[in-house]
Amino acid sequence: MMLKALPAACAALLIGAGAAQAAIAPDPTNPTCPNLQKMFGPLSGPVQVQSAKVSGRNVVKFSGAIVPGAADQLQKALEGAGAPVDEIWIGSSGGDPAEGVKLGKMIRAMGVPTRVPAGWGCASACNFAFMGGAIRMVDRDATFAVHMFTITTNEGYQSFVDLTRQDSKATLNNIARREQASALLASDENDFLIRMGVSRRLLTEIMYQQKADAFVGQDKSVIRCLTADEMQRYNVVNAD
């Protein structure tokens, strides 16, 4: 799932470097995060993959919405780099969770470390891609944002509301399908985190404690940005 209500801006705006997180005011709705619109807006556009030399290291920079085909694009870039790739820099507002897992598995199979560089953010489905690195780094002025994964998208939620208004039987069937799909997704998430060496307590203590939507109650926060201590505690990062 992608962070909601973010414009599709050109991801190339943050290729290379970006404004440090410290320069971005806190998000008014999700206070553990910098302003999500400013942080992730430029990382919500089409996938951008670029090879670069950074301080003598061969780096492949991957940014943009994680959509079907993104893993293939990154794999082609890694295979066509012409030299061993030292790091993959990842920045994305998220997208398709299944594609995020596919990215993570591909990155792990290729054995390339992952980094969220300063000024970039990694949220939602991007979490899975990042976790594919056997060596994982998040720079001090970068953002790693998590939330409760659900099957329902913006469009799916509207369909759910429409069914509730029109047909109670269809609504119950919709709820049953959503519950089953969510249970399968939760199982897949647990399996993936264990395989990647990330503590499953990240799910139970952080991600699954977040609200799935902002429609109920005064607290509208649905996104949690991890602190440096939390990233180390749950083994999200394992290197500096």
Pick from 75-79, 154-158, 181-185: least confident: 154-158
Output Rg (C-alpha) for the chain, integer angstroms: 18
The three-point CA angle 94-15-144 to 5° equals 40
Q: In what order do the strands lie in the sheet with 121-123?
A: 121-123, 143-146, 224-225
Give CA–CA dist 66/132, Å, rounded: 14
Given the structure tokens 């299944």, which residue do they identify?
A: 98
What tens digit of pLDDT does each residue of 45-85 get?
999 999 999 999 999 999 999 999 999 999 999 999 989 99
Asked if residue 84 belongs to a domain, the reply is yes
Residue 238 lies inside a defined structural domain of this protein: no
Q: Is the pTM of this model over 0.85?
A: no
On whether residue 128 sits in a domain, the answer given is: yes
CA distances from 190 to 62, 80, 186 (A): 25, 33, 6
In a domain, 239, yes or no: no
Sign of CA dihedral 101, 103, 106, 107: negative
pLDDT of residue 122 exceeding 80, the answer is yes
Range of the domain at 125: 11-153+179-233
Residue 118 covered by a domain: yes
Helix, strand, coil percent content, the chain, rounded in steps of 5: 45, 15, 40
Q: How many helices (H) and strands (E) does the chain have?
A: 8, 8
- Token couple for 157: 């939620």
Structurally, the chain folds into a number of domains equal to 1
Evaluate whether residue 1 is within a structural domain: no
Assess whether pLDDT exceeds 60 at residue 9.
no
What's 93's domain CATH number? 3.90.226.10
Look at residue 169 and tell me if it is in a domain: no
**pLDDT band, residue 179 (cuts 50/70/90):** low
Would 172 be classed as within a structural domain? no
CB-CB contact of 209 with 32 (8 Å): no
The two structure tokens encoding residue 132 = 């594919």
